[in-house]
Amino acid sequence: MKIYITRHGQTKWNVEGRMQGAKNSDLTERGKLDAVKLGSSLKDTKIDYIYTSPLTRAYDTALLINGDRNIPIEVYENLKEMNFGTWEGMHRAEVINDYKDEHHRFWNEPHLYQPNGGETFDELIKRTENTLNDIISKNNGENILLVTHTIVIKAIYAILKKYEVKDFWNPPYIKNTCLTILDYNEGNFKFILEADTSHT
């Protein structure tokens, strides 16, 4: 079983430097184009199902990757991005100014981060692990594509590479529409490709 994982395309809030989290922001033209390019690069790859976050930036990316292939797409609530609470919609500069200490912990000491109305890293990792296990159990032996978000993808890396939360931000960097490929066989995962952007 192969598991293909990608982040949504570039959004307007990405360009503006806003914190997105569980809020929506539309894809830019660059974001749409990169999603189409990823779809083209996967046109000869057998994918049986696409699971996408409900957030429009991910769902629209899934549609563009799918193109005219008619692969079934299922919206999966728990593939949505980490909830940032009061930070959502704020510019990063505003967050740094208003929540300096927590912003530092978020990026440098995630095990100490305490959200204001959002999720902790532990909560996000648990949600992601449950989601990954649930989706795999539904697709025994079938190849799937997950269209999701940076921190969910980082959580998958942390789970499979057995990182402690303090090491959550270990490389690789998760760029828009980057592709990670996992091979799954009887409970064992193997990374085949990590955060590749050669299609863009």
pLDDT tens for each residue of 2-19:
999 999 999 999 999 999
Give the list of residues 6+ apart from residue 84 with CB closer than 8 angstroms, or none. 19, 20, 21, 22, 115, 118
Q: Which residues pair with 25 in a beta bridge?
A: none
- Nearest CA-CA partner of 76 in 15, 20, 17, 144: 144
**Cα dihedral across residues 174, 65, 160, 115: positive or negative:** positive
Instruction: State residue 140's pLDDT score.
Output: 78
d(CA 124, CA 67): 30
Q: Which residues pair with 191 in a beta bridge?
A: 182
Asked if 7 contacts 38 with a C-beta cutoff of 8 angstroms, the reply is no
pLDDT bracket for residue 126 (50, 70, 90): very high
Q: Is pLDDT above 90 for 27?
A: yes
d(CA 87, CA 103): 10
**Cα dihedral across residues 111, 116, 119, 123: positive or negative:** positive
Whole-number percent of the chain with pLDDT over 90: 97
Instruction: State residue 14's pLDDT score.
Output: 97
pLDDT bracket for residue 48 (50, 70, 90): very high
Q: Which residue has the tokens 């922001």?
A: 25
Give the list of residues 6+ apart from residue 137 with CB closer than 8 angstroms, or none. none
pLDDT tens digits, one per residue of 62-101: 999 999 999 999 999 999 999 999 999 999 999 999 999 9
- Nearest CA-CA partner of 165 in 87, 99, 112: 112
pLDDT bracket for residue 45 (50, 70, 90): very high
Q: Is pLDDT above 90 for 141?
A: no
Residue 56 sits at φ, ψ, to 5 deg, of -60, -30
Asked if 192 contacts 11 with a C-beta cutoff of 8 angstroms, the reply is no
**Cα dihedral across residues 96, 118, 176, 89: positive or negative:** negative
Instruction: State residue 171's pLDDT score.
Output: 97
The two tokens of residue 99 are 């929540």
Q: Which pTM does this prediction carry?
A: 0.97
Neighbouring C-alpha atoms within 13 Å toward the C-beta of 135: 30
Residues with catalytic roles: 8, 81
Q: What is the mean pLDDT of the chain?
A: 97
According to DSSP, residue 117 is labeled: S
